[in-house]
Structure 1
């Protein structure tokens, strides 16, 4: 019988499975940091998580008595927070128990060995739980569940920008194929139909629900540094490509609990048809005699904002009109959402002392051919496998995942700063009240 006053249940269960004649290990006692540093969670986030978990518990109790759709939906939204918080609390309790067992001089050497092993594995697990808890505390993006449109345009750099824009188009198409996402090129305009590789503009439709959340990390300016094939002196040129990821809406409103209300003037998705000028014209570019004989191309101009959408990919005017409306509605909804985000960013600048996030016009990523390097300027991640990235491989997803982590950190910093600012204002308000 082991002569210890208390044994952690996890270690006891493991000791039963361990051979009795296993040699005792002489272990050096380790000093373990506090739970706060292990968890890497601020008190602000923990208070928020506790509050939401408590709300989930109350809603679950209500549902046990009588079912209500609205209550069930809210409970479902909070379920992940409550579940992760429970696991996070268990991990912290285990660390406390295991540390006590490992630091107790009366603990049997073999049990101390098991405690230290479990302590190390739990300390590895806890940061992952902390990251999951942070992620669950951030409200989902309003467009997260929607399909998406990806608009690609060359920027500064002339022909070289058009060539790289074509490679970016292929990169995203390859990524969609590898991920099993159905993707269709709605629009593709090239500078020269004979070469078909200098892009003027392209729009990819990814109709899979949730694809917006997958691809939204790609919005911004992508910079390329390489020696063009036409460069005789071996000089590196820099050019840019603009990528905009837009939410794609169904042809008719409704769905998602009627969140996509096309008839509500206060909705992001509303477009007043009287504010849209529609022009029919003959399509340009390749296409034979049909191009010059029918007015199948559609141009829509949203007069209040000046947003212009052209669509001529199909020979059917009806199809071009449908896709033009789809793109225009997506651009307007994106613009309205970004306006709210900009307002929120301005508020956060005051409490964070800096820029809270990057704008879509900022350079987000650099592709350097000479060094086979891809650097994302938001997350700071650099990978030296440019070919694999441009082929839509796993390294591209690694970069995209790093941006998602960066986005979470930005939101968390903003939440903490706003909470701190609110706490500083409350005493001042109480003082004025007296």
Structure 2
């Protein structure tokens, strides 16, 4: 968390409660993270309206000046590259104008408060609170507009679900998580396709909710922008419940790993960001670096096992990344889908490597809020009918609704989106302040 020169009363009370129990410490910090923008406001000077960080305000003014210059150039000489850049930063220029207009309105109201006209003073007092609130809201909007867009934000995505620690019970809950996302997508109207659904070779037993022992599943969400909507779901999902095989009624803890990878419907051609034939693309893989193996499909026997070698396993030798695909009886289809998943995994690894390098060059403040895939991000507690997200700090009750992909799951996902946005703003401020500091040292 960013340290602030002062803390509001409600936050101070939350901080006092942190020391009462070490078990509640992590959740208390996460709950405070729901309001990081308020802490960012504490760092701002009065020179930046709306409580905006001075570093971000200067950045916004620089970009707005660039937009004005580009707009003037386009009036006399249209250029596609210039028009594209102007369009990319237009929302920042617009958000800054709205903020400055609100600041001008606030200054007028403050001037009216010093007027000799009692009626004008009363009118100014009536509008002052609403204008102040609008100013803070516009400051936040500008911060969000300044935050760099995720490189895969507009793409469809692949949700990979695998059991974590917990043995068979973890496999049962993996099936629950897979169905949860299927139902959520259906409720939201997202188009999906099951790329892979592989159960383990077991005795055919079912979980407490009738789940299968899932080994691995891949669900493609085909709508553009799905990656942005689901990227906060990546991580370890923990479940606490009494397994169907438990005789003494003890609660067991298991976990399920969820990966969110970018997907692309097709190759958009030379020069495109998702052109997997372009060596500069994150999705490019040299075929010479991939080992291909064919095998017979595994299964429970009978018609589930192919008589031909239609299953495919691809191994990216430099990274050791392996993808197996056997859902289709066609080797050609399995090969195509395996390559698609492999490209998505490698692209995500390359993006994460760049981000890790960038984080290592920034202030240590960033590492304090960074969540990795190894951390538990959410807990599903059956006995307490509760689901808790450990990043946003949100608790929801009515667990069946969560597992049915209903409104409660939507609230959790939305809360994580807010947490991700605030974390991105925090990272942007840290980066901009580092740039400003380096610039002063250079002078």
TM-score bracket, normalised by the shorter chain, equals 0.7 to 0.9
CA distance in 1, matches of 2:328, 2:137: 48
Residue in 2 that maps onto 1:186 = 195
Verify: 1:52 aligned to 2:63, yes or no. yes
Shift in Å, 1:376: 1.6
Matches within 5 A, 1:299-310: 299-310=313-324
Shift in Å, 1:429: 4.2
Deviation by residue 1:173-214 (Cα, 9 ceiling, x = unmatched):
112112211011111112356756221110001111111111
CA distance in 2, matches of 1:286, 1:186: 20
CA distance in 1, matches of 2:114, 2:141: 32
Q: Is the contact made by 2:297 and 2:305 (CA closer than 8 Å) also made in structure 1?
A: yes
Q: Is the contact made by 1:186 and 1:203 (CA closer than 8 Å) also made in structure 2?
A: yes
1:194–1:387 distance in 2 versus 1, CA, 3 Å: closer
Compare 246-255 and 221-230 and name the one that shifted more. 246-255
Q: Is the contact made by 2:51 and 2:139 (CA closer than 8 Å) also made in structure 1?
A: yes
Deviation by residue 1:267-291 (Cα, 9 ceiling, x = unmatched):
2111111111111111111574362
Q: Is the contact made by 2:56 and 2:432 (CA closer than 8 Å) also made in structure 1?
A: no
CA distance in 2, matches of 1:290, 1:339: 39
Residue in 1 that maps onto 2:103 = 92
Q: Give SS of 2:255's match.
A: strand
Deviation by residue 1:121-147 (Cα, 9 ceiling, x = unmatched):
223333332222111111111111111
Q: 2:219 aligns with which of 191, 199, 204?
A: 204
Shift in Å, 1:335: 0.6
CA distance in 1, matches of 2:366, 2:331: 51
Verify: 1:403 aligned to 2:412, yes or no. no
Q: Give SS of 1:293's match.
A: coil
Q: Which has the larger radius of gyration?
A: 1
Structure 1's unaligned 5+ residue stretches are: 1-33
1:114–1:330 distance in 2 versus 1, CA, 3 Å: same
Structure 2's unaligned 5+ residue stretches are: 1-44
1:369–1:130 distance in 2 versus 1, CA, 3 Å: farther
| TM-score (ref. length: structure 1) | 0.84
Matches within 5 A, 1:42-191: 42-101=53-112, 103-104=113-114, 106-109=116-119, 111-191=120-200
CA distance in 1, matches of 2:97, 2:118: 31
CA distance in 2, matches of 1:240, 1:290: 28
Give the RMSD, CA atoms, in angstroms. Answer: 2.4
Residue in 1 that maps onto 2:341 = 327
Q: 1:380 aligns with which of 379, 383, 393?
A: 393
Q: Is the contact made by 1:148 and 1:211 (CA closer than 8 Å) also made in structure 2?
A: yes
Number of aligned residue pairs = 394
1:61–1:290 distance in 2 versus 1, CA, 3 Å: same
Considering Cα pairs closer than 8 Å and 6+ residues apart, tell me whether 1 or 2 has the greater RCO. 2
Q: Give SS of 1:292's match.
A: coil
CA distance in 1, matches of 2:370, 2:308: 46
Verify: 1:418 aligned to 2:427, yes or no. no
